[in-house]
Amino acid sequence: MRLAILVNSPAYGTQGSATAYRFCQAAITKGHQIAGVFFYQQGVANANALTLPASDETNLVQLWADLASQHQFPLDVCIAAALRRGVVDEVSAQEQRLPANNLMAPFAMTGLGQLAELVGRADRLVQF
């Protein structure tokens, strides 16, 4: 089964993103495919490369990046929600003349149209 994942929860402060991550791991272990993960609303915080958890805490941002790279699925971030919350890619930083960007690779800024395409490629949409 091909699964599309929608994450609305931030990396820290709630369990939603961590639960989504563990769900993806379990689905892959059971032989399912992750068609992609779309981060929306507060979930865009999962793409912030400047997130620095304490040394005894899990770095969920890095875990997402590693899982997607290992299993070759996209991590899409809603550009409107991200910019509103201070998550900026290189292109947006240049366009807005900002001094830096903070979008973690391999996360990619996309629009809501990408979510529709993701759902179209999947058998199920699971939201966290």
Could you give the residue numbers annotated as active site?
78
Query: Which of 110, 118, 113, 103 is closest to 37 using CA atoms?
Result: 118
Contacts of 58 (CB under 8 A, 6+ apart): 18
Contacts of 22 (CB under 8 A, 6+ apart): none
CA dihedral for 110, 111, 115, 118, sign (positive or negative): negative
